[in-house]
């Protein structure tokens, strides 16, 4: 019986030893598993950080590329908008020029009629009642014609006593003048007209050459003095 008790004690000790070994082994395994988990988590964190870094780098590069493309498209848009605006202005300017050319051509054909009206007004001297009535009718027609030209933007030039300008005037005659300096218009031979600030027809004018009579006398006086000198030298030689 004592032997049986001894055997039971031994068995119990073996069981306790085995349980202790199992506990130690499980503790070691748990520690190993914990270390593996920590290592795995650390690796995962490193990989995530590396992936995130690569993603940010790629996004920055893509953003920089998109910004460059945006600047390129913006420059193209600005250039196209500027070209279109210039084209629109050029078209509008060309249309205005064409309109002015057509109107100028039509009005230029009418101006000789205006000239004839003005000549007739200067020559007519109504004396009788019938002639005065005709003259008033004529004046009414002339005023209507002038008003139509004015509505179209036509305005007459004022040239007498103005400086001669070949862009506005056409010199038909040049003559000496005691009243006006050189290149000053002394008389209007045919009226000139503007259309919207541009020359519709040049004015035919007479231009002063300045006080030419005095200038012309100076050579004559000089020649007379020279003749007197020659005459005196001839007399001295004869003596």
| Maximum average pLDDT range among 52-56, 90-94, 210-214 | 90-94
Which DSSP state fits 184?
B
Tell me the CATH number for domain 106-123+135-208. 2.30.22.10
Q: Which of 172, 165, 157, 166 is nearest to 204 (CA)?
A: 172
The mean-pLDDT minimum among 17-21, 210-214, 231-235 falls in 231-235
Q: At a CB cut-off of 8 Å and minimum separation 6, what does 216 contact?
A: 176
Residue 132: per-residue pLDDT: 79
pLDDT tens column, 154-205? 999 999 999 999 999 999 999 998 889 999 999 999 999 999 888 999 999 9
Other C-beta atoms within 10 Å of 239: how many? Answer: 4
Domain boundaries of the chain, sorted by first residue: 106-123+135-208
pLDDT over 90 at 6, yes or no = no
Percent of the chain having pLDDT more than 90? 25
Residues whose CB falls within 8 Å of the CB of residue 178, separated by 6 or more in sequence, listed in order? 211, 213
Q: For 36-76, what is each residue's pLDDT tens digit?
A: 667 677 777 777 777 788 888 888 888 888 888 888 998 89
* Per-residue pLDDT at 137: 82
Q: What is the largest CA-CA distance in the chain?
A: 203
- Residue 219 in this model has a pLDDT that exceeds 90: no
The secondary structure of 119-164 as a DSSP string is HHHHH----SHHHHHHHHHHHHHHHHHHHHHHHTTEEE---TTSBP
**Three-state secondary-structure class, residue 198:** strand
> Mean pLDDT over residues 22-26, rounded?
57
Q: What is the mean pLDDT of residues 20-38?
A: 60
């Amino acid at each position: 019986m004592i032997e049986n008790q001894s055997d039971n004690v031994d068995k119990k000790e073996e069981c306790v030893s085995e349980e202790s070994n199992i506990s130690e082994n499980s503790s070691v395994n748990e520690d190993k598993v914990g270390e593996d988990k920590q290592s795995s988590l650390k690796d995962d964190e490193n990989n995530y950080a590396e992936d995130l870094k690569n993603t940010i780098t790629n996004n920055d590069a893509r953003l920089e590329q998109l910004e460059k493309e945006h600047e390129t498209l913006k420059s193209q848009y600005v250039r196209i908008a500027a070209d279109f605006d210039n084209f629109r202005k050029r078209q509008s300017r060309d249309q205005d020029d064409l309109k002015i050319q057509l109107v100028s051509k039509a009005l230029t054909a009418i101006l000789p009629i205006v000239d004839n009206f003005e000549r007739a007004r200067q020559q007519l001297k109504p004396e009788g009642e019938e002639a005065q009535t005709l003259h008033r009718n004529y004046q009414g027609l002339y005023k209507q014609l002038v008003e139509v030209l004015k509505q179209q933007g036509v305005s007459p030039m004022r040239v007498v006593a103005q400086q001669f300008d070949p862009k506005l005037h056409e010199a038909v005659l040049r003559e000496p003048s005691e009243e006006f300096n050189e290149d000053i218009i002394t008389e209007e031979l045919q009226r000139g007209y503007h259309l919207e600030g541009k020359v519709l027809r040049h004015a035919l004018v007479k231009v002063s050459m300045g006080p030419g009579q005095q200038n012309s006398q100076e050579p004559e006086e000089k020649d007379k003095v020279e003749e007197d000198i020659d005459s005196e030298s001839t007399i001295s030689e004869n003596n």
